[in-house]
Amino acid sequence: MNNFFFRITHTDKHSRARAGVFRTPHGDIHTPAFIPVGTHASVRGVAPSVLKQIGVEALLANTYHLMLRPGADVVAKLGGLHEFMRWDRPIITDSGGFQAFSLGASIEHGVGKIANIFPSEPPRSAGRLAAPPPQRPAGGNKKSFVRITEKGVEFRSHLDGSKHLLTPEKSIEVQEKLGADIILAFDECTSPLATRAYTERALERTHRWAVRSLTAKKRRDRALFGIVQGGAYRDLREKSAHFITTLPFSGFAIGGSLGKSKRDMHDILAWTIPLLTENKPRHLLGIGDRDDIVEAVARGIDWFDCVAPTRLARRKGTVFTSTGNLNLTQARFKKDRRPIEAGCPCPTCAAGFSRAYLRHLVAAQEPLAVELATAHNLRFMTSFMARVREAIAAGRFAAFRKQVLRQTSRV
RNA sequence: GCUCGCGUAGUGUAGCCCGGUCCAACACGCCUCCCUGUCACGGAGGAAACCACGGGUUCAAAUCCCGUCGCGAGCG
């Protein structure tokens, strides 16, 4: 059953960075790789043909969302995800474990995977005491859509309120029906605000779910990855890495809360990755800032998925450049006839669309804004990852890393 | 020419009848920031109107009275 094969072609001498190729039934993923998120079997606003042109090698879709709509059986009947969405390259499906968090604690606490719990300086109004810091981050304190038990996660559909139980068995069944090449074990992504006791309990449950996920897997033409959890607790991360590594997974993903800062995230990676099987791929879930990518690659990560390039492009036309992000809604771009970045080979810049025009499209909420901005950002990411790979192959990753960190820090 | 109605931030409106709680509210727009396995074209914040103009009544007027100007409708 050599449908999958991971070959490490280059290793960095000064870090744990490595470059390689992961072979799947739908083609190769050159690592380190950036994998865009297409939750609903679609990268918002961008057609598969354009994604290919941009150099995207794989996509990540979501079990929970596709299970609710259009339904796993519908997708299966229509030939599986690849045929359904007309994408013939590798697909990964997330197990739905993240939704246990994003529709649960994330909503209740108003936090993301990396806690941003320190409110920025309260505004100081003259002659008055500054307002007291809010008790909770903005957006928190809403009702959860989930209930987590040993059996699995009970979701109240965010679409129509109907109830759905996602268990490890169900998640794997759905993922096999959807037909992704790489599927993920059903896990619980814990909140950075969870207590240690809770994080530990959730971790142990996720481990039991990992075993159940493996047992539930029937098809050999899918690669199942295990997920390391443990929050920001060193011993829990180590325990998790040890445990997951003993199981016959095809690869690993690092998930869950990554602490309260980028520094925490670096530590978590440094603790866990050395414990993972060397010749199996490692996926860092949900991370995608350039500095984070470089730091994670240096610690041994092979690929990433992240909504940032697509979400930022869609929400406000935030667009990546080598010197930092541009927020196209800013007034200074109103008459800016330059492309997003001179010399950028993406379809948007190559076609000569100006910042002023893009700003207009964003302001007018024209769908084309989403397509053009997203295509640019994704091309930016694939180019960036190509440079990461080249740097590793050429033995100059250390310098490359330093350069990236310098750039991103002054942005 | 007469009668009636209207004139509040960029736009559209609320408040006016029953003066104070209006150094004026809401929506959209505008400006800035945030977003890391996408519930959500999401979240947070900000600037912006001396309430058409002049006079009067009153302790107090966007709110009441008079006049002027502008806009609209009707009548001639």
**Chain segment A126-149, per-residue pLDDT in tens:** 222 222 233 334 445 678 899 999
Check whether residue A214 and residue A74 sit in a common domain: yes
Grouping H, G, I as helix, E, B as strand and the rest as coil, residue A34 is strand
Asked if residue A30 is part of any domain, the answer here is no
Q: How confident is the model at residue A109 (pLDDT cuts 50, 70, 90)?
A: confident
CA distances from A330 to A290, A313, A326, A365 (A): 23, 14, 8, 15
CA distance A321 to A403: 15
Chain B bases closer than 7 angstroms to a protein Cβ: 29-46
Asked if residue A299 is part of any domain, the answer here is no
Check whether residue A241 and residue A339 sit in a common domain: no
Asked if residue A166 is part of any domain, the answer here is yes
Tell me the average pLDDT across A152-157. 95
Check whether residue A180 and residue A325 sit in a common domain: no
Q: Which of A12, A94, A181, A187 is catalytic?
A: A94
Residue closest to B32 C1′ by Cα: A330
Q: Which of A235, A291, A305, A336 is catalytic?
A: A305
- Structure-block tokens of residue A395: 């033995």
Looking at residue A233, its amino acid is: Y
Asked if residue A25 is part of any domain, the answer here is no
**Position A15 pLDDT exceeds 70:** yes
Instruction: Name the nucleotide nearest A253; use CA and C1'.
Output: B37
The Å distance, CA of A58 to C1' of B75, is: 76
The Å distance, CA of A240 to C1' of B69, is: 81
The Å distance, CA of A75 to C1' of B4, is: 67
What is the pLDDT at residue A50? Answer: 97
Mean of the per-residue pLDDT values for chain A? 92
Check whether residue A73 and residue A204 sit in a common domain: yes
- Structure-block tokens of residue A138: 């903005």
Asked if residue A91 is part of any domain, the answer here is yes
Instruction: Name the nucleotide nearest A310; use CA and C1'.
Output: B38
The Å distance, CA of A365 to C1' of B73, is: 39
Q: How confident is the model at residue A72 (pLDDT cuts 50, 70, 90)?
A: very high
Tell me the average pLDDT across A289-313. 97
Query: What is the reported pTM?
Result: 0.93
Contact, A321 vs A341, CB < 8 A?
yes
Is the CA virtual torsion A36, A37, A42, A46 positive or negative?
negative
Check whether residue A103 and residue A49 sit in a common domain: yes
A38/A2: higher pLDDT: A38
ipTM of the shown complex: 0.91
Asked if residue A10 is part of any domain, the answer here is no
Check whether residue A106 and residue A172 sit in a common domain: yes
Of A233, A266, A282, the last residue of a domain is A282
Count, residues in chain A: 411
E strand residue ranges, A63-206: 91-94, 146-148, 153-156, 163-166, 182-184
In terms of residue numbers, what domain contains A195?
37-115+142-282
Tell me the average pLDDT across A4-25. 98
Check whether residue A273 and residue A173 sit in a common domain: yes
What is the pLDDT at residue A124? Answer: 26
What is the pLDDT at residue A70? Answer: 97
Check whether residue A210 and residue A326 sit in a common domain: no
Active site annotation includes A28: no
**Position A112 pLDDT exceeds 70:** yes
Tell me the average pLDDT across A81-95. 98
Least confident interval from A202-206, A209-213, A365-369:
A365-369
Of A282, A297, A325, the last residue of a domain is A282
What is the pLDDT at residue A273? Answer: 98
Contact, A254 vs A184, CB < 8 A?
no
CA distance A46 to A66: 18
What is the pLDDT at residue A378? Answer: 98
Asked if residue A396 is part of any domain, the answer here is yes
SS3 for A313-354 is: HHHHCEECCCCCCEECCCHHHCCCCCCCCCCCCCHHHHCCCC
Place of tokens 């929400």: A315
Residue closest to B30 C1′ by Cα: A331
What is the pLDDT at residue A98? Answer: 97
Q: With pLDDT > 70 as the criterion, what percentage of chain A qualifies?
A: 93
What is the pLDDT at residue A238? Answer: 98
Check whether residue A204 and residue A337 sit in a common domain: no
Asked if residue A237 is part of any domain, the answer here is yes
Of A267, A282, A297, the last residue of a domain is A282
User: What strands, in cross-sheet order, belong to the sheet with A27-31?
Assistant: A5-11, A18-24, A27-31
What is the pLDDT at residue A2? Answer: 65
The Å distance, CA of A220 to C1' of B4, is: 85
Tell me the average pLDDT across A202-218. 98
pLDDT tens digits along A314-340: 999 999 999 999 999 999 999 999 999
- Residue A398: CA atoms inside 13 Å, Cβ hemisphere, count? 5
Looking at residue A328, its amino acid is: L
Least confident interval from A137-146, A196-205, A219-228:
A137-146
The Å distance, CA of A404 to C1' of B2, is: 80
Task: Count the domains in chain A.
Answer: 2
Check whether residue A339 and residue A260 sit in a common domain: no
Active site annotation includes A289: no
Check whether residue A359 and residue A267 sit in a common domain: no
Check whether residue A239 and residue A320 sit in a common domain: no
Instruction: Name the nucleotide nearest A288; use CA and C1'.
Output: B36
User: Which residues are within 8 A (CB) of A259 and not within 5 positions of it... i.e. 6 or more apart?
Assistant: A114, A115, A192, A231, A232, A265, A267, A268
| CATH of residue A194 | 3.20.20.105
Residue closest to B46 C1′ by Cα: A123
Instruction: Name the nucleotide nearest A261; use CA and C1'.
Output: B36
Task: Tell me which residue of A151, A38, A137 sits closest to A85, measured CA to CA.
Answer: A38
**Position A298 pLDDT exceeds 70:** yes
The 10 Å Cβ neighbour count of residue A185 is 30
